[in-house]
Structure 1
């Protein structure tokens, strides 16, 4: 599979490009970016051309890996799908429900494969854990804490210069990670209630269609000493904790690309594809409405 990279920022440079260059099932064919000089530079670092013309790249590849802000991703993802390209998408798929729906509809219409790169969904110990808990069932409540320090004093995060993260905050940046695990285990969400905490921190209460409830604490501004992630499930079989993430995103991206290759070969949509990405955006948009109205929102 010939694959192109859309994007030249820190996530593209640190994760996407090196994995695309290393993956044994792919031929890394080129880089396109909104700044042609950055595309040239990133491509040169991996021995592939930089493209100033997106349509030319799309015509020469079978798939694209997208590492762009969620306000930019939807339009280009639709364009790539309409060109017949399979899609490795970043989370969140979009910042509005109509934009996320447009991506999902384009994927279905053109019958291309899609995988949304929720890193925790493709973690080594996390994959079997999620499958086991979903199969076990009987869960009563879930709790998920995603407390980042991207914008905290003393942070050295390479993503602190991200305008969309600064504008949209933890709800849209780490919220998708929490939902990517809770939904396949506890079931779809029927109702969400959101309450603002300090700075960009937000607390969510979810009522799942199967009867369980869950709570989320999300932040990008937690003190560095207080940051961290964790997830706990409680139910008729006892208590279960999401395994610690002992590996970085590079290994997870290799698995996400494996999933894209398998979906493209089988013609079947991956459970973590564009439709699932749309559902996550619908829940996040519901949480935004709840913050604005001060009450629960049906989703």
Structure 2
């Protein structure tokens, strides 16, 4: 049985992981220590109104409450501090962690995390619940089944208004780091290895400020077999949607992922036939992660290699955008 420690009690930690842990512990109590979940955040306001959770303001205090060797840490801190947070976890004896996406915001941090993992024997699972979603599994089965022909292209749209959070928090450096790590993992799962063909971002224009590179992200990939993928995310959109469209030589698949924690229904349309079903992907993912952590000598979790590729591709996309901005600036002069 494993203890659970949620590190970072913001939107991801308190709003998602604590809620999911309640459901996961009820569904598979044999995986979890029966004691309360521990939440850790230095901000006093973040530690209020969390029934059923014992909260603390430091990792040192949390390590005294728990056995670090029998604890899974849910790392829900901003991605630009990932390497520093994992270093502190290792120093306090924690070895198992579910890490929110993205694993890192650049290649330098990614290399540092890999070094930490090897040096301290860290067992890391990166949040990839869209890859474990029922919707993704149904789409994958349709693509692999062959009844609709060969895969030609994939289009992902992830739009939502994110003005308030983008202005208040700065842990995600660009719009590429917010939603695209979800869809990019799914695309790589469906279509295989890829390289960046085109990338673009826009600024977020709010009523009082402009946030560079936080308005939207657009990415076109060319996969090894010639398949193309197009991923876009508009964080200044007036509407919210999470839609995938898969084009095959013999038909089209359209999927709608649940848009928030308020409703866990997904929808799938195949040649005009509509299916609606429950798809609580994050709870399913967390349960599978805790099953993985039962192994006393686990092999590297497969989400790590996927997210190394996610970080690499997004880093190249951001470099492409920076080069385009430099060219535009030099032409303007």
Give the alignment's TM-score, normalised by structure 1: 0.81
Q: Distance in 1 between matches of 2:257 and 2:286?
A: 22
When Rg is computed on C-alpha atoms for both structures, the one with the higher figure is: 2
SS in 1 for 2:291: helix
Q: Which residue of 115, 137, 143 corresponds with 1:127?
A: 137
1:127-180 Cα offsets, whole Å, 9 max, x none, are 3434553575932211111122122xxxxx7x3554226x63421101112202
SS in 1 for 2:247: strand
Gaps of 5+ in 1: 152-156
1:197 Cα deviation (Å)? 4.9
Partner of 1:77: 86
Query: Quick check: 1:66 aligned with 2:97?
Result: no
1:185 Cα deviation (Å)? 0.6
Contact map agreement 1:17 1:46 (CA 8 A) in 2 = no
Gaps of 5+ in 2: 205-214, 265-279, 326-333
Partner of 2:275: none
Residue-pair matches, total: 283
1:100 Cα deviation (Å)? 2.2
Q: Distance in 2 between matches of 1:41 and 1:198?
A: 34
Partner of 1:263: 292
Q: Distance in 1 between matches of 2:217 and 2:289?
A: 32
1:291 Cα deviation (Å)? 0.8
Q: Distance in 1 between matches of 2:83 and 2:144?
A: 30
Partner of 1:26: 32
Query: Quick check: 1:178 aligned with 2:183?
Result: yes
Q: Distance in 2 between matches of 1:108 and 1:236?
A: 44
More strand by share: 2
Contact map agreement 1:8 1:38 (CA 8 A) in 2 = no
Partner of 2:169: 163
RMSD: 3.0
Contact map agreement 2:42 2:57 (CA 8 A) in 1 = no
Partner of 1:52: 58
1:162-206 Cα offsets, whole Å, 9 max, x none, are 4226x6342110111220210111112223311335742232111
Q: Distance in 2 between matches of 1:111 and 1:134?
A: 36
Contact map agreement 2:98 2:125 (CA 8 A) in 1 = yes
Partner of 1:195: 200
Contact map agreement 1:178 1:216 (CA 8 A) in 2 = yes
Give the alignment's TM-score, normalised by structure 2: 0.73
Contact map agreement 1:74 1:93 (CA 8 A) in 2 = no
In 2 relative to 1, CA 162–292 (structure 1 residues): closer, same or farther, beyond 3 Å?
same
Q: Which residue of 151, 157, 161 corresponds with 1:149?
A: 161
Q: Distance in 2 between matches of 1:246 and 1:221?
A: 16
Q: Distance in 1 between matches of 2:77 and 2:158?
A: 22
